[in-house]
Amino acid sequence: MEDAKKKKMTAYTKQMIITYGMVIAVYIICEICMHTGHMSNQMKGLLVPLCYYAIMAVSLNLTVGILGELSLGHAGFSCIGVFVGAVFSICMKDVITVSYLRFFLAILLGALAAGVIGFLIGIPVLRLRGDYLAIVTLAFCEIIKNVVNIIYLGKDSNGLHFSTKDMMSLGMEEGAVEIVKGPQGISGMPSDANFTIGILLLLITLFVVLNLIHSRDGRAIMAIRDNLIAAESVGINITKYKLMAFSISAALAGAAGVLYAHNFSIVKATTNNFGYNMSIMILVFVVLGGIGNIRGSIIAAVILTLVPELLRGLQQYRLLIYSVVLIGMMLLNWSPKAIEWKEGIVTKLKRGRNKQVEKQAD
């Protein structure tokens, strides 16, 4: 009994070590490549977006894989993070000159704002289940995008000006800073994000999600996923745990959004960026990586972001190949035949190893 418990513990720790180790190893390799000048500009430019997509996939996996609810509004929470974080940074550019401190506060604020909105949206939405929940989260994502698209915000010596009509109705003085320009997006963020911060944020996300999964709360959340009625009957507070998972997931997406915003000098909320399409793309990462499999989410996010970029040489065929890769990965991961085939190989390998062991024993 003791032994079994010990073995289980070590298996779990091993999994954790592999996940963290993988991220840290990739970080070290990339840093070495960068400092020895062996990394292309293209890769350098992709590092922060890769961290962003990995964080998005891991945090969505918390909702989809652990809580077991299909959310199509994940990009909306990220959008909140982008705009709250970016507005904060632009306003505080002259006040807080230490970029790390300012960025840290921006991330905290972005995560907090997204978490609060996630909590508020979660209260009515989490009463629904399955397809209904998916549709409603989708609608919220669109609402967030559209609200962001009518906001005009500027700053001059009199303070902040706000309008939902157009830039001119702000009535600002000459030389004012235009912060949010409605559908034309937000620009002028200080470029505070870098790869190290991205990796740190990814590690924090992993730490939060993995610890949550393996805690008492996490087991309660998974119990809800596996059987709602049974969970309720043993006295688990369904609403509390659902809201907990949902708003943590939203907060992490918000933090990721702040990272994204500070990597580019302009961010717009369109269907492809922070709209429906992006939510689906993140969901694709999660499904391909394996629902509930945190490490898989990271790997899928990285591969699927890299593929279309590394295939640039193929001109317009690259998007075609990208979709073929998608189908291929989906079949390989999820079709029963492919799973059977993979298991066959694994057992063969094991048998081979056993035979070797036996031979050695002889």
Partner 1 sequence: MKKLLSMILIAAMSLSLLTGCGGNDGSVDGAETGTGSVDGSTSDAGTSDAGTSDAGSASNAGGSSEVWKIGGIGPTTGGASVYGIAVQNGIQIAVDEINAAGGINGVQIEYKFEDDEHNEEKGVNAYNALKDWGMNILIGNVTSAPCVAVAAETAKDNMYQLTPSASSPDCAKNANVFQVCFSDPNQGIGSAQYIGGNALASKIAVIYNSSDVYSSGIYERFKSEAANQPFEIVAETSFTDDSNSDFTVQLQQAKDAGAELVFLPIYAKEAALILTQADAMGYQPMFFGCDGLDGVLAIEGFNTDLAEGVVLLTPFVADAEDEKTQAFVSTYVERYGEIPNQFAADAYDAVYVIKAAIEQSGATPADGVSGICDKLSAAMTQITIDGLTGSGMTWVETGEVSKDPRAMVIENGVYTNFQ
Residues 6+ apart with CB under 8 A from 274: 75, 76, 78, 79, 82, 145, 148, 257, 267
Q: Tell me, residue by residue from 311 to 340, as one string, x for binding to partner 1 by CB under 8 A and - for no binding.
A: -xx-xx--x-------------x-----x-
Nearest 10 degrees: Cα torsion 143, 145, 151, 153: 140
Size of the site for partner 1 (CB under 8 A): 55
CA atoms within 13 A on the CB side of 253: 34
Among 108, 238, 310, 321, binds partner 1 (CB under 8 A): 310
DSSP 180: E
Residue 68 makes contact with partner 1 by CB under 8 A = no
Comparison of 160 and 181: residue with beta carbon closer to partner 1: 181
- Asked if 134 and 124 touch (Cβ cutoff 8 Å), the reply is no
Among 25-33, 101-109, 120-128, 209-217, the segment contacting partner 1 (CB under 8 A): 25-33
Residue 186 makes contact with partner 1 by CB under 8 A = no
What is the C-alpha to C-alpha distance for residues 272 and 269, in angstroms, rounded to an integer?
Answer: 8
Comparison of 244 and 287: residue with beta carbon closer to partner 1: 287
Burial of 356 (0-12, 13-18, 19+ CB in 10 A): exposed
Among 16, 309, 325, 326, binds partner 1 (CB under 8 A): 309
Among 111-119, 129-137, 155-163, 302-310, the segment contacting partner 1 (CB under 8 A): 302-310
Least spacing, CB of residue 361 vs partner 1, in Å: 25
Residues 69-88 that bind partner 1 (CB under 8 A): none
Residues 115-134 that bind partner 1 (CB under 8 A): none
Q: Tell me, residue by residue from 144 to 183, as one string, x for binding to partner 1 by CB under 8 A and - for no binding.
A: -----x----------------xxx-------------xx
What is the C-alpha to C-alpha distance for residues 90 and 181, in angstroms, rounded to an integer?
Answer: 13
Among 1-9, 89-97, 110-118, 265-273, the segment contacting partner 1 (CB under 8 A): 265-273
Burial of 190 (0-12, 13-18, 19+ CB in 10 A): middle
Which residues share a beta bridge with 18? none
Among 36-44, 57-65, 203-211, 248-256, the segment contacting partner 1 (CB under 8 A): 36-44
What is the C-alpha to C-alpha distance for residues 220 and 90, in angstroms, rounded to an integer?
Answer: 41
Residues 6+ apart with CB under 8 A from 13: none
Which residues share a beta bridge with 267? 186
What is the C-alpha to C-alpha distance for residues 118 and 256, in angstroms, rounded to an integer?
Answer: 15
Enumerate binding residues for partner 1 (CB under 8 A).
18, 22, 26, 29-30, 33, 37-46, 49, 149, 166-168, 182-185, 187, 191, 264-268, 272-273, 290, 293, 295-296, 299, 302-303, 306, 309-310, 312-313, 315-316, 319, 333, 339, 342-343, 345-346
